Structure 1
Amino acid sequence: MKSLNEAITEINSMEMEMIKDVKRLIEITIEELNNKTFDKSIYGEGKVLEEDTNDLEVQIDEKTIGAIARYQPAARDLRFLIGIMHMNKDLERMADLCINILKTAKRIFRDRVNEEIEIVSLIDMGEKVYNMFEIFNHGYIEKDVKKGYIIFGLDDEVDKIKKESIDKIKDKVKENIEYLDLGIENLLISKNYERIADNITNLAESLIYIYRGEDLRHQAVKEMS
């Protein structure tokens, strides 16, 4: 029979694999937008990574619930296991959002093969989101809650880029109504990046909960009530 420490080590290893998959998914969305063409190999890799992420979410949740039931951990170990379950939900959502971006990019580039395509601010948003996730990744590996707090400020920067992109799209539609369809696709991608950034903020909160014991989600609920 495994000890609690062995179970936690196994769960942590699987969580690191899930984080690695989601990191690559975000990277893939940026590659697709940079290429300005539909790449079947990139899209296929994204679908495989999404499936792997879904499988890992189920496996990690099962092992985490099993560890809590079997060992009845206390204090830090219990926080770790609860935090992992929260992180799993956010990572799985992020994988779905990345696939949404790839599907939208597919429509943009497939339907406009011979047109000049301008992707307003999307690559900037993608790179900002990727940077946020990298900070979370290092914070998780290094058990550094300070990196969690850094992420809170970066989320505002993503919101700012989105607002600027909306203003640019409005201006372009005013100049040329034919830009409307592409503008809507731009908005869909920016909305997905914004939601990914929100999920990374949730991950930062889980990081702080695991290693410092502060439950920022509950604090936010109290402030709203």
Structure 2
Amino acid sequence: MPDKHLSSRFDADLDFLSSRLLEMGGLVESQIAYALEAVKEFDTVLVDQVLEGEHRLNAMEIKIDEEVTNIIARRQPAARDLRFLMATSKCITNLERAGDEARKIVKRMRRIHANGGGLNVNTAEIKASGEMAMHILRRALDAFARMDTVAAAQIVHDDEAIDSEFRAFVRKLVTYMTEDPRTISMGLDYLFIAKAIERIGDHAKNIAEFVIYVVKGADVRHVSQEQLEREASGS
């Protein structure tokens, strides 16, 4: 959160935005958890829950963005306050897109289920990367709530582990599809699921990068990990 202001109402506005962002983040976490459970259990009820939650996420994004615009118009913020508001708007966009990825996962699982079930393939990498993506998103939201730049830099680094799991699963899928061309269609569905999980990790990483932007005033997108860590630590 930005520092306290002479206007208590301004502080209340910023606190409200922060709480709403975290509320939206909690809903996205639930969406991802339901989606991962659907991958494990082939549960069509979970599919319906995720699709219903998507509408709530879209409405929350619009409402929070409207509040950001109203605060900018009323308060004409500068420096860190303006960065906080801009970052909030971008973070809720990333949260909404992470929710979109959960929707993509369950829609693919519904298609797999309709086609008779899954491949006889170990999906350990999907499960592992899904748990990592959820954990990283939770940590990114916590870092945003505390404006913890050191934690944010570590999250960006840890996202590499999700990418590694994705690449491992792709290699496995290619082997299965090469050995049995009949599995290609379903294999591609699993590939889209794995890619969706990777993208969730990317959105969590983006949120972490915005923490550094708010606190340090540095845009650390597309920079090396070493430079990002220097900016985060202020060295």
Contact kept? 2:119, 2:183, Cα under 8 Å = no
Q: What CA distance in whole angstroms lies between the structure 2 residues aligned with 1:132 and 1:53?
A: 19
**From 72, 77, 82, the counterpart of 1:78:** 82
Q: CA deviation at 1:88?
A: 1.4
Q: What CA distance in whole angstroms lies between the structure 1 residues aligned with 2:222 and 2:33?
A: 32
Residue aligning to 1:99:
103
Match status 1:203 vs 2:203: no
Q: What CA distance in whole angstroms lies between the structure 2 residues aligned with 1:163 and 1:116?
A: 18
Q: What CA distance in whole angstroms lies between the structure 1 residues aligned with 2:12 and 2:208?
A: 25
**From 153, 157, 169, the counterpart of 2:157:** 153
Cα 1:169–1:218 change in 2 (3 A) is: closer
Letter in 2 for 1:182: M
**From 188, 194, 201, the counterpart of 1:190:** 194
Contact kept? 1:90, 1:202, Cα under 8 Å = yes
Residue aligning to 1:118:
121
Residue aligning to 2:148:
144
Count of residue correspondences: 218
Q: What CA distance in whole angstroms lies between the structure 2 residues aligned with 1:77 and 1:87?
A: 15
Match status 1:164 vs 2:168: yes
**From 24, 27, 30, the counterpart of 1:21:** 27
Letter in 1 for 2:154: I
Per-residue CA deviation, residues 155-209 of structure 1 (Å, 9 max, x unaligned), is 2111111111111111112322222122111111111112222111111111211
Q: What CA distance in whole angstroms lies between the structure 1 residues aligned with 2:122 and 2:54?
A: 24
- What's the Cα RMSD here? 2.1
Contact kept? 1:29, 1:126, Cα under 8 Å = no
Match status 1:8 vs 2:8: no
Q: CA deviation at 1:38?
A: 3.0
Letter in 2 for 1:62: E
Q: What CA distance in whole angstroms lies between the structure 2 residues aligned with 1:66 and 1:2?
A: 17
Contact kept? 2:119, 2:187, Cα under 8 Å = no
Residue aligning to 1:39:
44
SS in structure 2 of the partner of residue 217 of structure 1: coil
Q: CA deviation at 1:119?
A: 5.4
Contact kept? 2:94, 2:203, Cα under 8 Å = yes
TM-score (norm 1): 0.89
Q: What CA distance in whole angstroms lies between the structure 2 residues aligned with 1:171 and 1:13?
A: 46
Gaps of 5+ in 2: 1-6, 228-235
Gaps of 5+ in 1: none
Q: What CA distance in whole angstroms lies between the structure 2 residues aligned with 1:201 and 1:13?
A: 20
Contact kept? 2:31, 2:99, Cα under 8 Å = yes
Runs of 4+ in 1 over 4 A off after TM superposition: none
Q: What CA distance in whole angstroms lies between the structure 2 residues aligned with 1:183 and 1:210?
A: 41
Q: CA deviation at 1:87?
A: 0.5
TM-score (norm 2): 0.85
Q: CA deviation at 1:219?
A: 5.7
Residue aligning to 2:232:
none
Q: What CA distance in whole angstroms lies between the structure 1 residues aligned with 2:67 and 2:122?
A: 42
Residue aligning to 1:62:
66
